Structure 1
């Protein structure tokens, strides 16, 4: 059995306290060296990384707030543009309606003026026709009177002569 314990690398021996103290001292020295040369710079890098991540988070939050503010400004501008567009459309409609009414009033005024002008022309032409007819009747009367004076006519001949001269006067017109 003893040989089997040596083969396996086990040694059955007594507790050696000096080795334990040496290993403990080496472990403490190793911890001190690790703390001084490895953990210090590693913690500095971790602190820098933490500060960098925090600054990136703050910058992202500031960008988000700025974007939110910009978005709200854009919404307000869009709303204002819609209101202005609606006002422009309403103004254009009102101007169009006003112009339409003005055109109708002008057309009616022009129609009335033309109508009155036509009435005046008709009255003038009628008066001219009456004057011309009177002149023709007067000249016919003079002509008939001169013909009657030249010869004595019977009543039937006079009527025939008057009708004949009236027809001639109508054809001359």
Structure 2
């Protein structure tokens, strides 16, 4: 065994490799790697995996939120267009109703004006007929009066003309 140890120490005196120290260092290095793998690498990878899952979930959540926001935006745009269309229809309906009402008012006003005009013409005609009748009655009564006075006086032609002119003048003043 001595020769084996001597063999391992070959060249150690001249700055060579010392195999026993290297094997011990290799052994402790492997133990260190095993410990690091168990206590550091595993939890580190677990944390990295958790972080990766968290980021993936956040990205997925953000995508869902973006999709929902786009859908809400489209819905809002559709509702806005629908409200605009309804408002336009209401405006058009109101204009049509206003035009119908305007025409109805104009027609009613024309009918009322025609009725008033006809009533006024009828009143004028009635007043004219009454005035003519009153004038005829007045002329008749004056004629009777003139005739009775003429008969009473038996006037000359000149006196009769004078009398007629006076009565005509009286009739003109009575108007």
TM-score of the alignment, normalized to the shorter chain, above 0.5: yes
What displacement does 1:15 show? 2.1
Unaligned runs of 5+ in 2: 1-12
What displacement does 1:92 show? 1.0
Deviations 1:120-153 (A, max 9, x none): 0011001101111111111111111111111121
Select which of 164, 170, 173 maps to 2:172: 170
**C-alpha distance in 2 between matches for 1:54 and 1:14:** 54
Is residue 2:123 matched to residue 1:121? yes
**C-alpha distance in 2 between matches for 1:23 and 1:51:** 39
How many residues are matched? 163
Q: Which residue of 1 aligns with 2:7?
A: none
Q: TM-score under structure 2 normalisation?
A: 0.89
- CA RMSD between the two structures: 1.2
Q: TM-score under structure 1 normalisation?
A: 0.90
Select which of 1, 20, 23 maps to 1:21: 23
Q: Which residue of 1 aligns with 2:114?
A: 112
In structure 1, the residue corresponding to 2:15 is in which secondary structure? coil
What displacement does 1:12 show? 4.3
Is residue 2:24 matched to residue 1:41? no
Runs of 4+ in structure 1 displaced over 3 angstroms?
none
What displacement does 1:14 show? 3.0
Unaligned runs of 5+ in 1: 1-10
In structure 1, the residue corresponding to 2:155 is in which secondary structure? coil
Select which of 139, 152, 155 maps to 2:154: 152
**C-alpha distance in 2 between matches for 1:24 and 1:42:** 24
